[in-house]
Amino acid sequence: MNLERLKDIESEFLEVYPKAFKDEKLLVMVKKFNPEKLEEVAKDYFQKENFSQPQLICEGFMKVISRSPMVSIFDKAKLRDALKTMDIYQKDMLSIELYELIHGNKKLGFEGLVEFLSQYNLAKWTLVTLVPYALKRKREYFVKPTTTKMIINYLELEDLTYNPRPTYEFYKSYSKALSSIKKEVKKSLLFDNAAFTGFLKMGIEICEER
């Protein structure tokens, strides 16, 4: 990690937004993303007892994805169309992979969800990582391709090679790197993990403009 660059990002960001995510200039964005509501919806749908109802779990998956402005409209539409074509067996399989990801073996669930979604050309980082983030916003990370590549390159994160197809190995290593970075910045920047990577992206953009 290039610590000097990280400190530059922090300094430049806080110069523009002195109160970090409580700054008036950012409050509109925070309200638009409304992560608290996203968490509420996710926790309501993905309770353990609900997994006996695959239809409900699939509905919840779509609901969480559709509520987030961090997922492209194109991918939301493709997922909605895919769910409409699934029979009860396929919905049950999707439900099983989500259960593993959330309540069981995370690695198996992550890889299983990627394999399942790949049948519909939907094995996207945003679709795989949004639900874990929504449920544990200060522990799990939402992976957005452009932001991820920007952070890796600008902060010179070693041994991390981004690939468009999600892998658990990369997710685990990237999460570890981000958690280390969090220890080096002020607490005001740690609103939640999506906001944290958003701060890094905006800070990098400010630095590159100057």
Tens digit of pLDDT for each residue in 145-157? Answer: 999 999 999 999 9
For residue 123, the model assigns a pLDDT of 97
The pLDDT tens digits of the residues spanning 88-129 come to 999 999 999 999 999 999 999 999 999 999 999 999 999 999
Same domain for 97 and 187?
no
d(CA 162, CA 145): 8
For residue 27, the model assigns a pLDDT of 79
**Full domain range(s) for residue 183:** 3-21+141-209
d(CA 102, CA 95): 10
Same domain for 46 and 123?
yes
Give domain status of residue 54, yes or no: yes
Residues 6+ apart with CB under 8 A from 95: 51, 54, 57, 58
Same domain for 129 and 54?
yes
From 115, 135, 155, give the residue that closes a domain. 135
Same domain for 7 and 77?
no
Q: What is the length of the chain?
A: 210
Short-list 120, 96, 113, CA closest to 166: 113
Same domain for 49 and 123?
yes
DSSP structure string for 121-170: T---HHHHHHHHHHHSTTTS----HHHHHHHHHHTT-TT----SS--HHH
Give domain status of residue 156, yes or no: yes
Short-list 89, 91, 88, CA closest to 79: 91
Quote the number of domains for the chain. Answer: 2
The pLDDT tens digits of the residues spanning 33-91 come to 888 999 999 999 999 999 999 999 999 999 999 999 999 999 999 999 999 999 999 99
* Residue 210 binned pLDDT confidence (cut-offs 50, 70, 90): low
Instruction: Give whole-number Cα distances, 105 to 32, 99, 117, 141, 175, in Å.
Output: 33, 9, 18, 17, 17
Same domain for 40 and 122?
yes
Residues 6+ apart with CB under 8 A from 80: 62, 66
Same domain for 131 and 162?
no
Burial of 130 (C-beta count, 10 Å sphere; 0-12/13-18/19+): buried
Residues 42, 131 contacting (CB under 8 angstroms): yes
Structure-token pair, residue 87: 């029979």
| 196 has pLDDT over 90 | yes
> Which is more confident, 136 or 208?
136
Stretch 22-27: mean pLDDT, rounded?
81
Same domain for 81 and 11?
no
Same domain for 112 and 156?
no
Same domain for 126 and 157?
no
pTM passes above 0.75? yes
For residue 159, the model assigns a pLDDT of 87
From 117, 135, 153, give the residue that closes a domain. 135
Give domain status of residue 44, yes or no: yes
